[in-house]
């Protein structure tokens, strides 16, 4: 997002702090499935980032994923830590999501509401912002996200700048329309989230599936549990020794 999923002047780490934050994400509400939890650690150093995700899924067990994003090189590495190998993707090679129809043609409207409520997360006062995606033919939101956003914390400028530049590359997106079977509206939702001023230290997304007589709601809650600024080793953002490239 500027952000989830959140204009940069690319500057060196001498001028700006390195940032590390940890997040706990929980997905619930899928029919016949237990909750899925994910622990995410994001390290940012200037124009580089490293994301480590550990997923605990009752169906597939515990899985770990490591991604290194190098804006200076215009590419992303995905590490297979078990087999000591990695794949490489250039940003120019990431296909843009296909939108079959313009959002205005689908009867979808994205609404942004600032409730005026505040909440303290990690000793930071956050403001509630609610984003809803509504259909002209249904009063229920197809997607609704409640975010507790904040700007006044150490490391915000570095996080905001990195993700602004990442999103500015154009082809990087946390959602595709096919995720929920409705062309266009998830892209509109994503664009709205990216334009919210502030970083969400906590967020809950609700996604409504099915018809009125057979609906279920998937809930995805995330919260930043740790946030620190500290000097990070450059090697954290390099391919570890002994890893081979997957051709």
Q: Is residue 201 part of a domain?
A: yes
**Dist. CA 93–CA 164, nearest whole Å:** 19
The pLDDT confidence band at residue 2, using thresholds 50, 70 and 90, is: very low
pLDDT surpassing 50 at residue 174? no
Q: Which secondary structure element, helix H or strand E, spans residue 117, and what is its range?
A: strand 108-121
Q: How many CB atoms lie within 10 A of CB 104?
A: 10
Task: Express each pLDDT in 85-94 by its tens digit.
Answer: 999 999 875 5
The answer for residues whose C-beta is within 8 angstroms of residue 231's C-beta and 6 or more apart is 13, 18
Terminal CA-CA length for the chain: 31
Residue 122 has pLDDT above 70, yes or no: yes
Q: How far is CA 224 from CA 19, 21, 82, 203, in A?
A: 13, 7, 27, 9
| 97 band by pLDDT with thresholds 50, 70 and 90 | very low
Closest listed residue to residue 62, CA positions, set 83, 82, 41, 84: 82
CATH number at residue 115: 2.50.20
Q: What pLDDT score was predicted for residue 16? A: 60
Q: From CA 122, how far away is CA 102, in angstroms rounded?
A: 40
Q: Does residue 10 belong to any structural domain of this protein?
A: no
The whole-number pLDDT of residue 195 equals 80
Average pLDDT over residues 176-186: 46
195 in Cβ contact with 4 (< 8 Å): no
Q: What is the mean pLDDT of residues 25-34?
A: 87
Mean pLDDT of all residues in 173-190: 51
DSSP strand pairing (48-57 vs 244-245): unpaired
Q: Is residue 14 part of a domain?
A: no
Give a yes or no: residue 8 inside a domain. Answer: no
* Domains of the chain: total: 1
8 Å CB contact between 237 and 68:
yes
In which band, very low, low, confident or very high, does the pLDDT at 23 lie, cut at 50, 70 and 90? very high
Q: Can you give the residue range of the structural domain that contains 66? A: 19-245
Res. 167: pLDDT tops 50: yes
What is the share, in percent, of the chain residues with pLDDT greater than 70? 76
Partners of residue 136 on adjacent β-strands? none
pLDDT (tens digit per residue) in 68-83: 999 999 999 999 999 9
Report the C-alpha gap between 56 and 156 in whole angstroms.
29
Where is pLDDT greater, at 181 or 184? 184
139 in any annotated domain = yes
């Amino acid at each position: 997002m500027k952000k989830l999923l959140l204009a940069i002047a690319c500057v060196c780490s001498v001028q700006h702090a390195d940032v590390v934050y940890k997040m706990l994400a929980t997905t619930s509400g899928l029919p016949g499935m237990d909750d899925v939890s994910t622990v995410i650690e994001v390290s940012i150093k200037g124009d580089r980032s490293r994301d480590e995700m550990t997923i605990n899924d009752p169906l597939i067990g515990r899985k770990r994923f490591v991604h290194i994003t190098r804006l200076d090189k215009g590419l992303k590495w995905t590490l297979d830590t078990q087999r000591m190998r990695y794949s490489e993707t250039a940003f120019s090679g990431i296909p843009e999501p296909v939108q079959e129809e313009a959002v205005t043609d689908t009867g979808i409207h994205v609404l942004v509401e600032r409730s005026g409520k505040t909440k303290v997360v990690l000793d930071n006062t956050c403001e509630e912002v609610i984003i809803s995606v509504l259909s002209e033919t249904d009063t229920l939101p197809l997607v609704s996200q409640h975010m507790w956003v904040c700007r006044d914390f150490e490391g915000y400028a570095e996080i905001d700048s990195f993700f602004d530049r990442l999103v500015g590359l154009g082809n990087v997106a946390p959602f595709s329309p096919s995720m929920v079977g409705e062309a266009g509206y998830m892209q509109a939702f994503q664009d709205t989230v990216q334009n919210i001023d502030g970083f969400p230290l906590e967020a809950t997304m609700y996604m409504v599936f099915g018809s009125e007589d057979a609906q279920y709601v998937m809930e995805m809650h995330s919260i930043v549990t740790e946030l620190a600024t500290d000097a990070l080793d450059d090697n954290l953002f390099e391919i570890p020794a002994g890893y081979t490239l997957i051709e």
